[in-house]
A and B are shown apart, each in its own frame.
Chain A
Amino acid sequence: MSSTTAEQTTAGAAASPADTDHPIHAAHTPSGTIRLGVFFQGVNSSTAWRAPGAGDQVAWESFERLITTAERGVFSAFFLGEGLRLREHQGVPLEFDVAGRPDAQTLLAALASITRQIGLVATQNTTYNDPVDLARRLQSLDLLSDGRAAWNIVTTDNAWTGENFRRGGYIDHAERYEHAEAFVDVARRIWRGEDVDHQGRHYHVRASGRLPRSRQGEPVLFQAGVSPQGRDFAARTADVIFSPFGDLERAIDFRHDIVERTLAAGRSAESVQIFPGAEFILAATDAEAEDKLRWVREQQVGPQQAIALLEQYWGRDLTAYDPDGPLPDVDPLVAESGVTRGAGFQFEKAQELTRAWREEAAQKGLSILEFARSRQGSRGSSFTGSYDSVAEQLAEYARWGAIDGLNITPWLIPGGLDDIVDELVPRLQERGVYPTEYSGTTLRENLGLPALA
């Protein structure tokens, strides 16, 4: 199937897939199931810290509750994000969003003690870590968890983050994946017990792998970053992609693209799984869920946050603007929204983006506040509806084979998984599209990945 066909198929996404064995790509057979993971973000406005029941973002009890609930719901994985510098806007740390989280691996090593089957995924950067040290720490986590560790490979590479590290901003943005590829290669050789003598462009490391292999052999590799280079890197290297494409149409396109790239890399079409980020707003009825969505958006994005969001793209002080009024009619001060720092906001074309936003808001009659709330949840996808309709919707994804799972960012910490596990999971299980128990003890087994040679 060509990509044109994929687009045509996409147009009829509401209908059932035409070819039930291979609805997206002739080489790809859908598993017919989906899995769930939880992504504890710990930064940005996805977490409604003002909502009743919002708990501590750092307390052990919060993580304990989240992961215990996730494991009760047979979730495949518990994910932690990473940001190696506190997000800032114009030289001042962002004040309106949640911020501050424990180190990912240090926390996961502890969570390994209170769980038995759920996977433990650490987002870890290839630019500001040393490959052998990172490999050994991940392998330690894999051994401590008896084969449940994974590394979510990210390549964030700005010099601003580099100010916290020895090498500073030493690599060029264009080089990030070349560097990441060599980095991952070194890590894998360490895991396999080899002697490594790696002379790269930026450093020369010599070390030996000395730790034994874990029950799953070595950590599972996730990847997040969707530039063409990022996709090819994932196609060659990763077991799972953490993608931002959650709505069915984009998920289908992305799957098609990844299957093509994976085949081109000489791997089978099923060897790279896709887990988009997602947010779930659930209630007993669709109407209640819609009301809840509105309420959650109000909790996530207040007036000050709405102004701050625009300032991040306009690159100028907008506090004089009324959050209930129209979007600012001035142009941004910056060409690229690089003044705001944090993984999500780099290198966006500020002029084009802000102009498009102004048009969109004017057309829909949205105020600054309403517009900011409408943008919330855009990284990944929102699933809003009754327990039954969302279960139906996910069953549809499973039939398409557009995704292998969803990585849920709870809007509420720590109680945000409760309704998903208590109400949605049983409905998915009734429909036969979700595991009723863990199929093994390692992450590799529970994701249905092939065992390592």
Chain B
Amino acid sequence: MTTPPVLTVDLPSTPARLGAVRDLARALDAAGLGALSISGDAERGDLHPIHVASHLAPLTRALSLVVRTDAVDVEPFHLATQLMSLDHISGGRAGWLVETRTDDEAAHVVGREALDPEAARRETSDVVTVARLVWDSWSDDAVVRDAETGVYVDAAKLQYVDFEGETFSVRGPSITPRSPQGLLPVLVADADRAAVGDTVAEQLADGRAVDVVLDPDATAQEIAGAVREALGAAGIVGAELDPQAADTAAASAAPSTPRLVRLVGLLGQQDPADDVAQSQRADAGEDAFRPAELASRVADAAAQLRADGLVAPAPSAGNTLREQFGLPRPDVTIDPARRSDRARTAQKETAR
């Protein structure tokens, strides 16, 4: 039985709105929303989305924090450890919406030239692969704290990443222990589908985010209606209702399974100039953007959709994002060839 998708509100991480974003995150958490997705575009003047997600973690209890961030013009090792740190900090509430930047501006920031779209897709797939290898480089029980033998961390329970890609390589292991979810859910939003490419979207990802673009003043009815329509158009409503289409386990784990329904645009235009105008209006006491009011509209829409079984139930404190998705927590398999004590083992072999 497929778990219905988790309802998500997309928050652009504009600095002028920081106070309102904090209030909104708290209000949506209290209202039982499933997740927030946090988008940020540095070239536009947004705060780093991983930082914003992490900042919101202690302010919220149950909702998950899904970061929409670029896989290409970054250091894959940094990205992987930042995301797994978010998972530690949030107690397993982290997820990653993979973005693929192909513009010159983003490339020039890190001293590169923009990749052609095909190369960017291959690189995205390499970065997703590496992130998972980094996340799986410590067994869950690697920290043994054995006072008798003096061992804090067992090197036999760590493994190198040993990844050699087309444009980068990563040795590993991670500098951060395995995180609560083990592997963070990796998702692809409709907005990023083309740039991210087939390999990630159809083979590597844990699921899809269905994007529903809305006006900032959309009513609860309109939000619910738009979600119904989007799920219907994606064939999801039909699948849910048709017992013949009841998924096999394989289907429910398919990379294209809709896991999130992402409400985009509720915070209004994403132009920084507008934000300044908005925050000035807010300073002047004009309620241009009212977190509590927006949260209650979203909560009403969520209640309607949940009544029809179209979106997942409200999470409880302590639920991980994988749990909201109905995905099991994967174990680590230590690959003997990459085991971190291989140098010692090899030495002993030679000595024998």
Taking Cβ atoms with an 8 Å cutoff, the residues of A that contact B are: 49-50, 57-60, 64, 83-86, 90-93, 95-103, 105-107, 109-114, 128-130, 132-133, 136-137, 140-141, 143-144, 163-166, 168, 203-208, 210-212, 302-305
Contacts and interface: CB of A to CB of B under 8 A. Distances in A.
Contact of B51 (A57, A99, A141): A141
Contacts of A204: 108, 111
B154 A95 contact: yes
A304 B168 contact: no
B60 to A, nearest CB: 10
Given A114-B58, A130-B75, A305 B150 contact: yes
A86 B18 CA distance: 35
- Residue among B150, B158, B176, B341 with the most chain A CB within 10 A? B150
B110 A133 contact: yes
Contacts of A132: 109-110
A206 B88 contact: no
B42 A143 contact: no
B147 A102 contact: no
Contacts of B64: none
A227 B196 CA distance: 45
A130 to B, nearest CB: 5
Contacts, number: 181
Contacts of A86: 158, 173-175
B109 A210 contact: no
Given A132-B109, A166-B75, A211 B151 contact: no
A93 B48 contact: no
7 contacts: A83-B175, A86-B173, A98-B152, A101-B176, A164-B170, A205-B111, A207-B105
A164 B109 CA distance: 20
Given A90-B343, A304-B149, A58 B176 contact: yes
A323 B48 CA distance: 49
A441 to B, nearest CB: 15
B42 to A, nearest CB: 5
Interface string B128-164: 0000000000100011010101111111001000000
B109 A205 contact: yes
Contact of A140 (B52, B75, B77, B343): B52
Nearest to A103: B85
A96 B171 contact: no
B182 interface: no
Contact of A164 (B50, B77, B143): B77
A210 B47 contact: no
Given A85-B171, A113-B55, A140 B47 contact: yes
Residue among A86, A210, A304 having the largest count of chain B Cβ atoms under 10 Å: A86
Given A97-B152, A103-B82, 18 more contacts: A58-B88, A83-B175, A91-B343, A92-B155, A92-B340, A93-B153, A95-B154, A100-B143, A103-B85, A110-B55, A130-B75, A130-B111, A132-B110, A133-B109, A136-B42, A141-B51, A165-B168, A304-B151
A218 to B, nearest CB: 14
B167 A166 contact: yes
Interface string B96-124: 00000000010011110000000000000
Please provide the 10 A-B residue pairs with the shortest distance between their CB atoms, ordered closest to farther.
Answer: A91-B343, A203-B111, A210-B45, A304-B150, A163-B171, A102-B85, A109-B51, A103-B85, A206-B108, A106-B85
A212 B15 contact: yes
Contacts of B105: 207
Contact of A92 (B51, B86, B171, B344): B344
A221 B340 CA distance: 36
Nearest to B137: A86
A90 B52 CA distance: 39
B88 A102 contact: yes
Interface centre among A92, A95, A106 (most CB of B within 10 A): A106
A107 to B, nearest CB: 6
B175 A206 contact: no
A205 B147 CA distance: 49
A93 B153 CA distance: 9
